[in-house]
Amino acid sequence: MEISLSPNIERFLRIKIAEGLYDSLNEAINKTLKIALSKECISKEELDMLNADIQAGIDDANNGRLSDAFDFFDGLKQQYE
């Protein structure tokens, strides 16, 4: 695969190579892309936790455990005033 880097990106990566952070331009690009991808993706564990929290909220609502939003925000306002 052939890619073209903008001059600023190439300069940045070459500086990082010169500083010893990476051994080659190929390594710099691969590790940088891996970091970018990891920041954009949610892990299965994070998704499972989020789904569990959502389900807990649904279960609370189905069992009548609800809070009035106005009361909730009034309480927060009083707490931080």
pLDDT tens sequence across 27-68: 999 998 888 888 777 788 888 999 999 999 889 988 998 888
**pLDDT confidence of residue 19:** 95
Burial letters for 31-66: b for 16+ Cβ neighbours within 10 Å, e otherwise? eeeeeeeeeeeeeeeeeeeeeeeeeeeeeeeeeeee
* Spatial distance between the Cα atoms of 47 and 33, rounded to a whole number of angstroms: 22
